[in-house]
């Protein structure tokens, strides 16, 4: 238990991973539900990702990068940068799901690939840009 707490406090990536899993749970649940009712996978992917963005901001600002959230006008700039990084992740997600879908990949498998690509890119942007 102690080593888990050390990892939690010492490494931002650990907290970010937990935040991502929480946001991803909402994202994938909505994505899966929309695909199940025959929504276009690309649209379903974008919709799920957008819900995940909102959840991720709430967790990131309060737990992951606690103490690095700004006040006043700086907070607004930080939110814009966060949203910008989310749009990059959304772009990666939508393009990946669309392109892999054109090659006949299953929507769920396409989403899994997109998740990995988006995670690495957006984490880097947030750690060294948004919450520096």
Mean pLDDT by 10 residues, the chain (132 residues): 61 82 93 94 90 89 73 81 91 93 93 91 89 78
78 near 131, Cβ under 8 Å? yes
Between CA 24 and CA 114 the distance in angstroms is 12
What pLDDT sits at residue 105? 94
What pLDDT sits at residue 14? 82
What pLDDT sits at residue 58? 87
What pLDDT sits at residue 43? 92
3-state SS, residue 60: helix
Structural domain of 7:
2-130
Neighbours of 107 (CB within 10 A): 19
Query: In the chain, how many domains are there?
Result: 1
For 8, 9, 57, 61, the CA distances from 5, given in Å and listed in that order, are 5, 6, 22, 19
What pLDDT sits at residue 59? 87
3-state SS, residue 105: coil
């Amino acid at each position: 238990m102690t080593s888990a707490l050390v990892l939690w406090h010492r490494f931002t990536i650990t907290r970010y991973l937990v935040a991502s899993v929480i946001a991803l749970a909402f994202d994938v649940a909505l994505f899966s539900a929309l695909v199940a009712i025959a929504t276009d996978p690309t649209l379903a992917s974008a919709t799920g990702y957008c819900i995940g963005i909102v959840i991720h901001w709430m967790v990131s600002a309060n737990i992951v990068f606690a103490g690095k959230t700004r006040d006043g006008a700086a907070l607004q700039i930080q939110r814009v940068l966060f949203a910008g990084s989310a749009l990059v992740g959304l772009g990666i997600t939508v393009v990946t799901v669309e392109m892999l879908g054109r090659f006949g990949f299953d929507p769920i498998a396409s989403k899994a690939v997109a998740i990995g690509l988006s995670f690495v890119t957006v984490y880097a942007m947030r750690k060294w840009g948004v919450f520096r």
